[in-house]
């Protein structure tokens, strides 16, 4: 009887949900973006000049605020960008795609984006939102990487299939966009791709990069608006987590007010969104049945006569 109950329960709670399982796409915007440029002294024949103990603050970026850059000049890396995402806990991440809409406006610094050779590498650690910093960026772990391919139209963007970076994304790693050092480049090569950070709101700016996660889920994932807080990490606004089809990148949302010194009452707000992703192990639905089975079994075992088998009668 109990065994039959277990079988029925298993069928109801485990098999059927898996049969209904499908794939859904979740789109994430970066929570933090940063771009770095290498120390210019490193390109001299004398090598890098030690700046230990000196402030690493670079001068003001010559590019518009809110723009991110990946560039090569004369065959040498001139800029790289880092994107950090808050990936919610997902039971089964099946794939991921990074799409980076590009600005081709020369005023933003764009130069020959169609000849760009960009690699997407994972990195671990945290970043702060800096633009044009000459500080040492987090190490890009390019042993596993994905190539970002330039797609010219209808809107120019970089497209990278991150299927090989699934494990790193599940662990919460960020993504570094770096010039491919092994790419087919000559010493005279120069290209510069520009994209927008999620906080760039000026008119005419391109949408921010989007990380699309392909997850296996039931109907809840990507369709249910049930809010469940995704925690805020770091000091920046939490990323909006939205299901596919909401076309959020096209919506220019006003930036959250940033607290300025001497302006009391101004606070930074954090938007939190979330998705219901269910249990990581659906087998937990069997726990009540296991409890119903185990309690009587334990009670019976603890009250049963444990005397060894029938005694042998003396001859």
Partner 1 sequence: MRSSAWLRDPVAASLALFAGLAVAGFVAIGLGWRVTARTLLLAAQVPAVISGALGGLALVTVGAGLFVVQVGRRLAAVERAETEELLDEASALLAAAKGRRA
Given the rule CB under 8 A, which of 44-52, 166-174, 181-189, 249-257 is the region that contacts partner 1?
Answer: 166-174
The residues near 130 (Cβ < 8 Å, ≥ 6 apart) are 34, 35, 36
Cα–Cα distance, 153 to 273 (Å, whole number): 31
By beta-carbon proximity to partner 1, the closer residue of 48 and 128 is 128
Contact by Cβ (8 Å): 219, 125: no
Residue with tokens 């970076």: 165
| Count of chain residues binding partner 1 (CB under 8 A) | 29
Residue 261 as a binder of partner 1 (CB under 8 A): the answer is: no
Q: What does the block give as tokens for 179? A: 């010039």
Least gap, CB of 3 to partner 1 (angstroms): 14
End-to-end CA distance of the chain: 44
Q: Among 86, 146, 211, 241, which residue interacts with partner 1 (rule: CB under 8 A)?
A: 86
Q: What does R_g of the chain's alpha carbons equal in angstroms?
A: 27
Minimum CB–partner distance for residue 293 and partner 1 (Å):
10
Check binding of 171 to partner 1 (CB under 8 A): yes
Question: Quick one: which segment of 17-25, 34-42, 183-191, 228-236 binds partner 1 (CB under 8 A)?
Answer: 228-236
CA distance 60 to 201: 19
Residue 88 binds partner 1 (CB under 8 A): yes
Cβ proximity to partner 1: between 203 and 281 the closer is 281
Q: Where are the beta strands (DSSP E) in 56-207?
A: 67-73, 76-84, 93-101, 118-123, 131-133, 146-151, 157-161, 174-179, 190-196
* 306 touches partner 1 by CB under 8 A: yes
Q: Which residues bind partner 1 (CB under 8 A)?
A: 86-89, 124, 167, 170-173, 229-231, 233, 280-281, 294, 297-298, 301-302, 304-309, 311, 314
């Amino acid at each position: 009887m109990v065994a039959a109950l277990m079988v029925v329960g298993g069928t109801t709670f485990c098999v059927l949900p898996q049969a209904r399982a499908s794939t859904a796409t979740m789109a994430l915007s970066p929570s933090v973006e940063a771009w770095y440029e290498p120390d210019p002294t490193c390109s001299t024949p004398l090598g890098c000049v030690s700046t230990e103990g000196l402030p690493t603050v670079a001068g003001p970026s010559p590019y518009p605020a809110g723009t991110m850059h990946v560039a090569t000049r004369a065959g040498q890396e001139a800029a790289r960008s880092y994107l950090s995402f808050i990936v919610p806990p997902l039971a089964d991440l099946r794939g991921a795609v990074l799409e980076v809409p590009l600005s081709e406006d020369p005023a933003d610094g764009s130069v020959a984006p169609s000849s760009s050779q960009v690699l997407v590498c994972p990195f671990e650690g945290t970043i702060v939102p800096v633009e044009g910093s000459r500080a040492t960026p987090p190490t890009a772990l390019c042993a596993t990487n994905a190539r970002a391919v330039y797609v010219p139209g209808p809107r120019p963007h970089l497209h990278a299939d991150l299927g090989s970076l699934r494990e790193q994304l599940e662990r919460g790693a960020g993504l570094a966009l770096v010039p491919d050092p092994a790419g087919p480049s000559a010493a005279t090569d120069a290209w510069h791709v520009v994209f927008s950070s999620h906080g760039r709101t000026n008119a005419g700016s391109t949408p921010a990069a989007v990380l699309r996660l392909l997850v296996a889920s039931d109907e809840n994932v990507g369709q249910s608006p049930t809010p469940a807080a995704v925690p805020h990490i770091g000091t920046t606004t939490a990323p909006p987590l939205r299901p596919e089809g909401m076309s959020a990148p096209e919506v220019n949302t006003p930036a959250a007010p940033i607290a300025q010194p001497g302006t009391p009452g101004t606070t930074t707000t954090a938007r939190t969104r979330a998705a219901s992703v269910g249990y990581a192990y659906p087998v937990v639905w069997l726990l009540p049945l296991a409890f119903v089975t185990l309690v009587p079994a334990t009670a019976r075992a603890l009250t049963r006569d444990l005397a060894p088998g029938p005694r042998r009668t003396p001859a």
